[in-house]
Amino acid sequence: MSLVLASDATMSDLHQRFMNDPATTDVLTFPLDVDKRGRATSGEVYVCVPEARRRAKGQGSRVADEVLLYALHGMLHLCGFDDRTPAGFTRMHRTEDRILTRIGVGAVFQPQTRDAKPITRRASASVDRRRRGSRA
């Protein structure tokens, strides 16, 4: 897995080119190679650092934790997780928080505090560039 720390302009360009959406986004995942069963064996994950800064500031969290969350989210897409359905969304984000908690960061997607309300985030995108014949 290659991790690219990107600007808003780069993310907006990629989001437009591959998802037909001109807005910036937090993370984009690009599987590059797949095995015989169609599972990714390598890929690129683009993380938007300015978006991580904005969200961290708005939530009072650390930018590094947001960047780590986005990188993990992209890696999970490469591992076959899909957050486009409600069940997949829940499964993916619970897995993120479980991993982040195990490594000592704690839940980032939905912090588990007694008084906190769950944080709702936009879904990010996984893009199969092999089908589109392009590499960014």
Please determine, for residue 119, whether its predicted confidence score (pLDDT) is greater than 50: no
Biggest CA-to-CA distance, the chain: 48
CATH of span 2-132: 3.40.390.30
Domain layout of the chain by residue ranges: 2-132
Q: What is the pLDDT of residues 12-49, one digit of tens each?
A: 999 999 999 999 999 999 999 999 999 999 999 999 99
Q: What is the DSSP string of 32-73?
A: EEE-TTS-EEEEEEEEEHHHHHHHHHHHT--HHHHHHHHHHH
pLDDT at residue 128 tops 80: no
Residue pLDDT, tens place only, 46-96: 999 999 999 999 988 899 999 999 999 999 999 999 999 999 999 999 999
81/89 Cα distance (integer angstroms): 9
